[in-house]
């Protein structure tokens, strides 16, 4: 299945990546970007080509090899973000920390813990931008699950439901959520 199908789980994928790219591009190329769960560097390679300093993290050695081919000279770190931030980044700050189609591997409480830890890596005006499979309401998630059928639904992933997840972030950060497709959205987090 692809984004062009308009079906779960990738409906809106290109639009989500495009909107994140546009937001970072609007800030100018002097920004530092940390891509957590960089994978094959679909988004990060475009930023790298545009002159941004990009640091990428992924648990997969194979994915990092692909990313390295697309982004010569970029700093890439093999690490599983489910274990927190890698030690190599202690004290480092970024203007943007992006996670695309990665955070759904963590349960909600682990998502909140990870966001708290990641906030320490933002510059004063920095933003964490998460583009992922997500839903505005539990009813929207239930409808998506019903529409795609239990055989297609991935019960081993933990999709964000904004109406409940927003409560978990209160008092921690400022957050804005935009639903992009019926099964995908963008969450922007600031200190």
According to the 3-state scheme, what is the secondary structure of the chain? CCHHHCCCCCCCHHHHHHHHHHHHHHHCCCCEEEEECCCCCCCHHHHHHCCCEEEEEECCHHHHHHHHHHCCCCEEEECCHHHCCCHHHCCCCEEEEEEECCHHHCCHHHHHHHHHHHHCCEEEEEEEEEEEEEECCHHHHHHHHHHHCCCCCCCCCCCEEHHHHHHHHCCCCEEEEEEEECCEEEEEEEC
Q: Whole-model pTM?
A: 0.96
* Calpha distance 131→21 (Å, rounded): 11
Work out the pLDDT band at 3, boundaries 50, 70, 90.
low
Residues 107-132 have pLDDT tens digits of 999 999 999 999 999 999 999 999 99
* Residue 33: half-sphere exposure toward Cβ, Cα within 13 Å: 33
**pLDDT for residue 15 is more than 60:** yes
Phi/psi at 107 (5° precision): -65, 160
180 and 15 Cβ atoms separated by less than 8 Å = yes
Class for domain 3-190, per CATH? alpha beta
Section 44-71 average pLDDT: 97
Tokens of 87: 């030690």
Section 70-98 average pLDDT: 96
For residue 53, give every residue at least 6 positions away whose Cβ sits within 8 Å of its Cβ, in sequence order, or none. Answer: 31, 32, 33
Work out the pLDDT band at 6, boundaries 50, 70, 90.
confident
């Amino acid at each position: 299945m692809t984004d062009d199908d308009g079906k779960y789980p990738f409906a809106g994928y290109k639009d989500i990546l495009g909107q994140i790219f546009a937001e970072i591009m609007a800030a100018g190329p002097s920004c530092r970007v940390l891509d957590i769960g960089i994978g094959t560097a679909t988004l990060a390679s475009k930023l790298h080509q545009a002159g941004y300093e990009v640091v990428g993290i992924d648990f997969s050695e194979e994915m990092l090899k692909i990313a390295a081919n697309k982004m010569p000279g970029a700093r890439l770190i093999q690490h599983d973000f489910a274990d927190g931030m890698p030690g190599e980044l202690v004290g480092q700050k970024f203007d943007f920390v992006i996670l695309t189609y990665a955070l759904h591997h963590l349960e909600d409480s682990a998502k909140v813990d990870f966001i708290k830890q990641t906030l320490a890596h933002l510059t004063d005006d920095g933003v964490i931008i998460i583009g992922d499979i997500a839903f505005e309401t539990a009813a929207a998630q239930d409808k998506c699950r019903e529409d795609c059928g239990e055989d297609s639904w991935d019960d081993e992933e933990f999709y964000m439901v904004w109406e409940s997840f927003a409560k978990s972030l209160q008092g921690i950060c400022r957050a804005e959520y935009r639903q992009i497709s019926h099964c995908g959205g963008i969450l922007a987090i600031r200190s």
